[in-house]
Amino acid sequence: MSDNTSPDVAHHLRITGRVQGVSYRAWTQDRARSLGLSGWVQNEADGSVTALVQGPEEAVAALIRAAQDGPTAARVSAVNSTEAAPDDTLIGFGIRR
């Protein structure tokens, strides 16, 4: 039985493969917002993309599954997910530059 007071979960993601220069961050932001998640996504110097996603467990899991494919031009090698501490100060989902 689920209720609206169930605590959010948070996961830190590291996505590797051909994930920069293919609109991966914008795709992640759009998908996260459509799922009602908060957090951020950013490119890393090593060519990977990292993200912090937070929200209801089912929505976070849905984003992690979708991240395996990403946008059409992406070629994802791996999505590594680790649990993180939820951050009550996160509002919305942004792209970090």
One-letter amino acid at 84 equals: A
15 located within any domain: yes
Count the domains in the chain.
1
Q: Which ranges of the chain would DSSP assign to H, the alpha helix?
A: 24-34, 57-67
Catalytic residue selected from 31, 43, 65, 96:
43
Catalytic residue selected from 18, 25, 65, 96:
25
Q: How confident is the model at residue 88 (pLDDT cuts 50, 70, 90)?
A: confident
Residue 25 designated active-site:
yes
Q: What is the pLDDT of residues 5-23, one digit of tens each?
A: 566 999 999 999 999 999 9
The CATH number assigned to the domain holding 37 equals 3.30.70.100
21 located within any domain: yes
Distance separating alpha carbons of residues 47 and 8, to the nearest angstrom: 29
Tell me the whole-structure pTM to 2 decimals: 0.91
Residue 56: name the closest of 80, 76, 40, 32 by CA: 32
CA 86 to chain CA mean position, Å: 14
Q: Would you state the pLDDT for residue 5?
A: 54
Residue 4 designated active-site:
no
59 located within any domain: yes
